[in-house]
Amino acid sequence: MTKPTCEDTFLKKRRSLGNDYYSLTFSPYSQAERCRPGHFVHLKLPGNDVFFRRAFSIAAVSPSAGEMEIIFKIVGRGTRAMAHLRPGDPINLLGPLGTPFKRPRKREHTLMVAGGIGFPPLLFLARDMISRGHDPKRIEFFYGGRTAGDVIERSRIKKLGVTFRPVTEDGSLGSKGLVTVPVEEFIENHDNGNCRIYGCGPEGMLKSTNELALRLGVPGQISLEAPMPCGIGVCLGCVVPLTDGGHARVCCDGPVFSIGEVAL
């Protein structure tokens, strides 16, 4: 776990990405440099009205500009309030929090398995890898959604030079069906020992990804969500059961866990 700071920053830019998705960029954020893919920030809306902080994976940082970006979807009261924030509004951020992803080896095929609002940390991971000399071509960016509108920031992903593989349940974009199907196909057509999988998305998708990785013997990690009162490991409210019978705190033992570690 990283040493977090609790600081007031300001909304610098707000982009509507359609379908209730938004991107918010905060600046100045003193921790931008220390943020790693898989880290998240715990965001406090002013007042008691949205009582808990809300957790959001870091989608991008610009250490030079002191900027940090999150991408989210409106799903409830907190995210609705966030969508109404305006540039200049102050926001308190606690972060960076959590244990980040471990990067794959350079020669490995990296399979990003993103679903819905699970894509932001994988975007950060892909970009970070590339900046560290990974070959974008060896990054397979599987991105599933119900429909085309759920697969957001497509041009941004493509611009990275990764192999972008959109999948939609209704077939309105990319291949039709669940995202795990083409993932499985890919692994079957490649050396599983040379693949590494990174998953983030809805529970069902993570469950399938975890099972499929275990079954096919592909190592990797998944990033989980849980209700998070504190985000720093003191409340024990965010635990998930582990396969070894114990509990782990998603906020600091995770949110990134190894394939097979969590009893999903």
Ligand X SMILES: Cc1cc2nc3c(=O)[nH]c(=O)nc-3n(C[C@H](O)[C@H](O)[C@H](O)COP(=O)(O)O)c2cc1C
Which residues does 98 contact at the CB level (< 8 Å), separation at least 6?
1, 2, 38, 39, 40, 251, 252, 254, 255, 256
Q: Does 52 bind another protein (CB under 8 A)?
A: yes
> 216 with 262: CB under 8 angstroms?
no
Q: Does 235 bind ligand X (CB under 6 A)?
A: yes
| DSSP per-residue letters across 100-163 | PPPPPPTTSEEEEEEEGGGHHHHHHHHHHHHHTT--GGGEEEEEEESSGGGS--HHHHHHTT-E
CB closer to another protein, 93 vs 162: 93
Q: Does 84 bind ligand FAD (CB under 6 A)?
A: no
CB closer to another protein, 151 vs 238: 238
CB closer to ligand X, 85 vs 238: 238
Q: Does 76 bind its own copies (CB under 8 A)?
A: no
Choice from 96, 100, 120, 144 touching ligand FAD (CB under 6 A): 120
CA distance readout (Å), 260 to 29, 53, 207, 242: 35, 29, 10, 9
CA distance 114 to 95: 23
Which residues does 110 contact at the CB level (< 8 Å), separation at least 6?
104, 126, 129, 134, 138, 139, 140, 195, 196, 198
* Segment contacting ligand FAD by CB under 6 A, of 67-75, 134-142, 181-189, 206-214: 67-75
- Closest distance to ligand FES from the beta carbon of 95 (Å): 13
Contact mark string toward its own copies, 30..69, x via CB under 8 A: -----------------xxx--------------------
Q: Does 56 bind ligand FAD (CB under 6 A)?
A: yes
Q: Does 226 bind ligand FAD (CB under 6 A)?
A: yes
Binding site for ligand X (CB under 6 A): 235, 237
Which residues sit at the interface with ligand FAD, rule CB under 6 A? 40, 50, 52, 54-57, 70-73, 75-79, 117, 120, 225-228, 255
